[in-house]
Structure 1
């Protein structure tokens, strides 16, 4: 049986996930551009599917400078930015490189971009998320209850799709249902089939979730 959280978050994400991710060539970048460029987190999750990625870079488009360069292990498909403080209002792009130092996303127009919200807005959101956590903890809610409520706020009130996904993806402790839900959202965002997200083993409950998502997820046009 699917945990109610899984169904709830599927409903929240279904209208906001950008089908196709930032796909170019062999790689699909899922976040930080899952459904819009604006971000609350100054330590964004960078998640991709497929492609042999040797390192990831974050570059400032405004100042035309390299702000982060991170080597990766051969098995990595995600990392969290931990470079110099990001500047609110500036536009950044994520570049995935192969072992020869060449960008895997060949079309520069397809490089995923993000913009950190201004300080006041980020502070307001942080305070609201803390209030949500305190309210649910006072009622002896579970970690999953807290995650669900925070993700709902980020999606419904702020339309911060990548932040909401990161909230779910990095939740600790997690559950098998929660983990498979993020795998399914990733697969759907990148146009993959179910077996790629479940190691070839179909799960009836997750199949139903995927069907619900795939029937209603809306496409958001790429940046002009």
Structure 2
């Protein structure tokens, strides 16, 4: 499948097409290893690494959503969220294995607090089936303020336009992904694409390509 075909905004309202192409163009750059590639996400490698792949949110990343979608790859059994430096998690979710080993977890606890830093940790198995835990990966929820208020307003307008136009779930996900990519909110963009419960064959292939592209990278070693 050509990536361009999966990124077509043809199902979107005409008013959104140009804006969506701009944002999805950034996704093409991301997939081709261009400037959008970063050190925030990738495989937890090295001699002491778990081998799990962190897709979203990335290490040290700023996230708009207060109920983010968490995306990982690996032979995983659970994911946990911690307040920064806390010993016990405040949220723990089991992970069921999939054919692609890509896990998508919608956070379903109390809304996270703007301006607060959180840490995520994964548990699962190495290639030899021995149990392993990842190190903790931090992310921060975007603080209250002018930037967050503007995103809230712009996204509400986008959602209203899409609803009025009767856009399909997958088209809405594409438009929201483009919206977040335009604003360098990569975790939110990836969360939008991976949150579609029953993706088309094209979107499923796109998500596989995204995971493959990200998981070719290795995260810098932790302290």
Work out whether 1:45 is the aligned partner of 2:48: no
Give unmatched runs, 5+ long, in structure 1: 193-218
3-state SS of paired residue (1:164) = helix
Who is 2:152 aligned against? 126
Q: Is the 8 A contact 1:5 1:144 kept in 2?
A: no
Who is 1:31 aligned against? 56
Work out whether 1:162 is the aligned partner of 2:172: no
* Change in 2 beyond 3 A, CA 1:81/1:152: same
Kindly tell me the number of residue pairs found equivalent between the two proteins: 191
1:16-53 alpha-carbon deviations (Å, 9 max, x no partner): 2437614233211211117x6111112222222223x2
* Change in 2 beyond 3 A, CA 1:81/1:141: closer
Q: Is the 8 A contact 1:22 1:33 kept in 2?
A: no
* TM-score (norm. length: structure 1): 0.68
- 1:8-23 matches, cutoff 5 A: 8=21, 11-13=25-27, 14=30, 15-18=35-38, 21-23=42-44
Aligned equivalents of 2:174 and 2:6: distance in 1? Answer: 11
Instruction: Select the residue among 8, 21, 24 that pairs with 1:5.
Output: 8
In the TM superposition, residue 149 of structure 1 has moved relative to its aligned partner by 2.8
Who is 1:56 aligned against? 79
3-state SS of paired residue (1:128) = helix
In the TM superposition, residue 101 of structure 1 has moved relative to its aligned partner by 11
Aligned equivalents of 1:149 and 1:71: distance in 2? Answer: 30
* TM-score (norm. length: structure 2): 0.68
Aligned equivalents of 1:153 and 1:147: distance in 2? Answer: 10
Work out whether 1:83 is the aligned partner of 2:83: no
RMSD value over aligned CA atoms?
3.5
Give unmatched runs, 5+ long, in structure 2: 10-19
Aligned equivalents of 1:169 and 1:25: distance in 2? Answer: 23
Who is 1:201 aligned against? none
